[in-house]
Structure 1
Amino acid sequence: MRLRRLNGRIGIALASAGLLGLGLTTLPATTTGASAQGTERPASTVVETTDGKVRGNSRTGYDEWLGIPYAASPTGARRWTAPQPTAEWKGVRDATAFSERCAQPSGWDPGYENPTTTENCLSLNVYVPQGTKGRLPVLVWIHGGGYFGGAGQDTDPRKFVEQTGSVVVTVNYRLGPLGFLNLPELRKESADGAGNYGLLDQQAALRWVQANVAGFGGNPKNVTIAGQSAGASSVCAQLASPTAKGLFARAGIMSGSCGMQSASAGETQSKAFVKEIGCSTASDVLACLRAKPASAIVTAQQKAAVRPSLGGAAFPTDPAVAVETGKFSRVPVMLGQTNSERGLSTFQNYDYLGKPMTAAQYETEVRGAYGAGADKVLAEYPLSAYDTPGEAWTAAQNGSTSYARWQLMGTLSRWTPTYAYEFAESDTPHFTSIFLIQQKSETARNFPFGGAIHVDDLGYLWDYLGQTMPYDDDQLELSSQMIRYWGHFAANGDPNGARTPAWPKYTTRTEALMSLSACDTSPASGKSPAACSKVSTQFDEEHNLDFWESLPS
């Protein structure tokens, strides 16, 4: 198939769904990029940073420093401004507990049962392996959550840290309207910031890493940024940002896409929010907004969502255009998805609410998502071929999402080393939130998700939301293998290393990617549990990409 620019309707559908928005043996130091030269990991849990000393926790096999501020509290007059330097402190600051999450509505994830209304949240967490010498590779993780939810503490990376010998940093950043409001009044205050404060927060955290990670044993010249879902789209935005250049050496994009709405589209969203919160008729709109409590902002954003938009020196160009034209930081990229990305959204938007999709809703959704190509989609994915309209919708959405990812794989591979994958372990226990819902709900237990869904792969790299999932022995081997791949990539920009199947670079000629899955070893066979990951060139056939390529742009 020839490579073609992303179908506009498909891109819009992905953006509206929030999808535009890691056996257990320690890797040898030589495979992680650690060097006998340079500093060792800190000898104590008190570390000097550019802002003052911090004291962390010593755990079994690793040390952690939690809730370290990397920017000043974005409150009061600093609400809706670019991140400012944090004030230095005297003495030793306690860094043994997470900071508050950034303001956001409640959700179904454990720990998110109630809204969060804290704005003093610009902090990060540092995890360092014990007993490892040399300057260590650093992985900075940007959480997902549709740009309106989540926090750095959702990721517990201890098994990744211990097995790879890497330093991991997880980051909070501003969300929703507090992170992404784009108004003429804000642009008049400052040329930078409007529409992308949360993304600028991520850059401030990366600058903190450059200035401070050596004190924790990390190598500031060997930093990987990675994220999932909205975190993955954030990574692509940082690839395209001129002001992020030089802050990282490689990038991981998990279940995310490249693309950002225009400033005008962001302004339309933002004005709808201003109206919803009751400030549209104020003589001073910004004063009205800054006087509102965070609780009112969180409530209003549930009816008027705001997402990142272009603008300023940091984000002048749509990341989708930047990667297509090669005008981005050309660092090695690891890129992939799960094999049923959209099964989760079908469940979340319909069956979880007790209202399964109807035939009429299926047609409405298809026509809204695919416009001039809708009749072809309805013919290609007819209701008669599926048990329920929801399954038809999941199948169609999986196809269009995979088409967008396939195009991104090809586009990036033209400019920089790109390693593509699909997480294809269809029998996996679903990620924490769905797994817990399934314990109580027969509807959730019986729902046809269609394979590995959005977020399912995270538990194989680290404990997502602090929960260890009940993987079988083959799946534990897959987890070990994936951690090796991601660890090697973080160290060297190449996932290949000892005791893993060879993973080729992606090219549009071969379209070879790594299909990640566990074996199905019978306990009675006497064979050892194993991963069954392999190189695949069938991604296009498995996701019907010839059809999606045939649709009008």
Structure 2
Amino acid sequence: MDDVFETASGTVRGFRAADDVVAALGIPYAAPPFGARRFREPFPAEPWRGARDATEFGPIAPQSAELPGAPVWSPGDEDVLTVNVWTPAAEGGRLPVLVWLHGGAYTFGSSAQPDFDGTALARAGLVVVTLNYRLGFEGFGYVPGAPDNRGLLDQVAALRWTRENIAAFGGDPGNVTIAGQSSGATSAACLMVMDGARGLFHRAVAHSPAGVFHTRDIAASTTREIAEAAGRPATLAGLEAMPPEALVAAADRVVEAYRNDPGSGSRHYDPSLFAPVLGGDTLPADPLAALAAGAGREVDLLVCHTTEEYWLLDAVGSCAKLTTDRQLARFAADFGLPETLLDGYRAALPHAPVPDVHLTVFGDLLFAEFAARLAETHAGAGGRTYLSRFDRRRAAADGTPVRAWHCADIPFAWGNHEDPRLSFLIGGAPTPADRELARRMVRAWADFAATGDPGWAPVRDATADTARIWRPGDQAPDALPAAPRALWADVAMPVLRP
């Protein structure tokens, strides 16, 4: 296989990412979503003549985040709907395809992050596709007269591009797995139950899906707050008149207001403004309800979460720090959690300080419990489902704990654990046991994408827990951090933040 590929829109010329892997980056799968196309469903990409250079990532979606090792968004960058492909250089056969949806609270992130280099997965026998999609207000803000969940519609458009073009890269359009982490994982759950995505993929991987969805009323209220912060009316004309950078800045001001106001309710604790909007044509019902009714039953599902999810959000300063029992009680009340739940966690963690109890409960609330329910619900409705937990914990050289926190599993599943730009996520340089852990996780992903079987027993019904626990071989198999599932029995999911 050479580095030139014919797509429906034109020829692209990639490059050798390694001796045995070819990459083609920044390929448009839809037209730039600005100007007359702003706040609309994605439009087809414009064709081009000649061979398009595909050696650099495309521009990222509007955002204010500056992530280590990743590009930043600049006002004026408009061609943000692009895909990247990694494929084994060897000739022959149609290979299973994995399509990646990055996370970032529906607000930040991109396919150009170093975590998501597809070289190792391509070496494991996959054709890997990563993509950018609209984020923040552009992708998930409620706009009167415009379609909801434009970011999800972008993902559907990328999957259509994959179906139409991936054979040119050696991939099998009849064997496509979607995968994502955090908001990307929840996006995958949404795609499983969306009519517009049906038939475009066959399996799904959800790492740390977050159980947050918004009703249209909540989304409309957020739009009014952002428009007020920008000094504009919350109308289609008023929103269209604001350049993307103005909406990004206004949303950041709303976030800071919540962050600085302990009396502002549940958004104070980690003020994310955007989530999939329920109730419209794009996503009529939340994924748990739709899966329970049998939607997506034909899609194999692999779910993973980490055992100490929220410690990352605390480490990077994105969530409120609680230090007193009074603050912890208010946190529970703001999320509508019963007193018995906090009592149960205190009993399970008798010597833990308040911050540790808070982070454990918050991580289970938004990630671990939702992940378990997602797996159980799909299995209970007849879908083939696998569950796993990432529990790599150790002490760093200075004695500080290396946590199994949010995002820590991704460098291992992608085989990018050696990249020094990811050392913060995994707590330093990998050990030989870490390398073996990565080898096993990459193999499980590749096998699931190829056959639907990652190598352990599926969840048999809505209550059985047959999770694979991911640990390095030199880590003692001690008990998982407490997550008393019975305490969550009466807590409704999804979490709807006012």
Contact 1:54–1:65 at 8 Å: present in 2 too? yes
**What is residue 226 of structure 2 aligned with on the other side?**
273
**What is residue 246 of structure 1 aligned with on the other side?**
199
Confirm or deny that 1:331 pairs with 2:299.
Answer: yes
Residue of 264, 286, 297 corresponding to 2:236 = 286
Residue of 438, 444, 451 corresponding to 1:479 = 438
Change in Cα spacing, 1:364 to 1:116, as seen in structure 2 (3 Å) is: farther
Residue of 194, 204, 208 corresponding to 2:161 = 208
How far off its partner does 1:229 sit?
0.2
Structure possessing the higher relative contact order (Cα contacts under 8 Å, 6 or more residues apart): 1
Change in Cα spacing, 1:58 to 1:109, as seen in structure 2 (3 Å) is: closer
Matches within 5 A, 1:73-112: 73-107=32-66, 109-111=68-70
How far off its partner does 1:315 sit?
1.9
How far off its partner does 1:335 sit?
0.6
**What is residue 504 of structure 1 aligned with on the other side?**
457
Amino acid at match of 1:243: G
SS of the residue 1:128 aligns to? strand
**What is residue 385 of structure 2 aligned with on the other side?**
418
**What is residue 176 of structure 1 aligned with on the other side?**
136
**What is residue 546 of structure 1 aligned with on the other side?**
486
Contact 1:399–1:544 at 8 Å: present in 2 too? no
Amino acid at match of 2:328: Y
How far off its partner does 1:264 sit?
2.2
Q: Which runs of 5+ in 2 are unaligned?
A: 255-272, 424-428, 494-498
Contact 1:338–1:452 at 8 Å: present in 2 too? yes
Residue of 102, 112, 120 corresponding to 1:159 = 120
The Cα offsets for residues 76-114 of structure 1, whole Å up to 9 and x where unpaired, read as: 111100000111111111111111111101245443677
Change in Cα spacing, 1:344 to 1:370, as seen in structure 2 (3 Å) is: farther
| Mapped partners of 1:152, 1:384: distance in 2 | 38
How far off its partner does 1:391 sit?
1.0
Residue of 258, 275, 291 corresponding to 1:307 = 275
The Cα offsets for residues 241-260 of structure 1, whole Å up to 9 and x where unpaired, read as: 00100000110011004663
Residue of 374, 395, 403 corresponding to 2:339 = 374
Change in Cα spacing, 1:551 to 1:320, as seen in structure 2 (3 Å) is: closer
| Mapped partners of 2:247, 2:74: distance in 1 | 11
**What is residue 407 of structure 2 aligned with on the other side?**
455
**What is residue 10 of structure 2 aligned with on the other side?**
52
| Mapped partners of 1:360, 1:348: distance in 2 | 24
Change in Cα spacing, 1:229 to 1:384, as seen in structure 2 (3 Å) is: closer
Contact 2:278–2:286 at 8 Å: present in 1 too? yes
Compute the TM-score of the two structures, normalised by the length of structure 2: 0.85
**What is residue 496 of structure 2 aligned with on the other side?**
none
| Mapped partners of 2:344, 2:484: distance in 1 | 14
Amino acid at match of 1:321: A
Residue of 518, 538, 553 corresponding to 2:472 = 518
Amino acid at match of 1:346: D
Contact 1:420–1:513 at 8 Å: present in 2 too? yes
How far off its partner does 1:322 sit?
0.4
| Mapped partners of 2:121, 2:50: distance in 1 | 32
Amino acid at match of 1:549: A
Contact 1:74–1:120 at 8 Å: present in 2 too? yes
Size of the aligned set, in residue pairs, is 462
Residue of 92, 101, 109 corresponding to 1:150 = 109
**What is residue 284 of structure 2 aligned with on the other side?**
316
The Cα offsets for residues 427-484 of structure 1, whole Å up to 9 and x where unpaired, read as: 287xxxxxxxxx9xx9xx84x67x4001000010223888364210011001001111
Confirm or deny that 1:295 pairs with 2:222.
Answer: no
How far off its partner does 1:311 sit?
4.9
| Mapped partners of 1:77, 1:113: distance in 2 | 24
SS of the residue 1:396 aligns to? helix
Contact 2:105–2:274 at 8 Å: present in 1 too? no
Residue of 378, 381, 392 corresponding to 2:357 = 392
**What is residue 29 of structure 1 aligned with on the other side?**
none
| Mapped partners of 1:511, 1:474: distance in 2 | 26
| Mapped partners of 1:466, 1:64: distance in 2 | 21
| Mapped partners of 1:424, 1:244: distance in 2 | 33
The Cα offsets for residues 159-218 of structure 1, whole Å up to 9 and x where unpaired, read as: 1211x11100000000000101223333xxxxxxx2211100000000000000000110
Change in Cα spacing, 1:362 to 1:383, as seen in structure 2 (3 Å) is: farther
Change in Cα spacing, 1:288 to 1:257, as seen in structure 2 (3 Å) is: closer
Contact 1:339–1:423 at 8 Å: present in 2 too? yes
| Mapped partners of 1:289, 1:350: distance in 2 | 27
CA RMSD of aligned residues (A): 2.9
How far off its partner does 1:329 sit?
5.1
**What is residue 14 of structure 1 aligned with on the other side?**
none
SS of the residue 2:336 aligns to? helix
The Cα offsets for residues 240-285 of structure 1, whole Å up to 9 and x where unpaired, read as: 100100000110011004663222222222222222222227xxx3
| Mapped partners of 1:506, 1:129: distance in 2 | 32
Matches within 5 A, 1:526-541: none
Change in Cα spacing, 1:228 to 1:200, as seen in structure 2 (3 Å) is: same
Contact 2:215–2:277 at 8 Å: present in 1 too? yes
| Mapped partners of 1:399, 1:70: distance in 2 | 36
How far off its partner does 1:358 sit?
4.1
Greater CA radius of gyration, 1 or 2?
1
Q: Which runs of 5+ in 1 are unaligned?
A: 1-42, 187-193, 430-438, 497-502, 522-531
Change in Cα spacing, 1:494 to 1:79, as seen in structure 2 (3 Å) is: same
Compute the TM-score of the two structures, normalised by the length of structure 1: 0.77
| Mapped partners of 1:387, 1:376: distance in 2 | 15
Amino acid at match of 1:71: A
Amino acid at match of 2:135: L
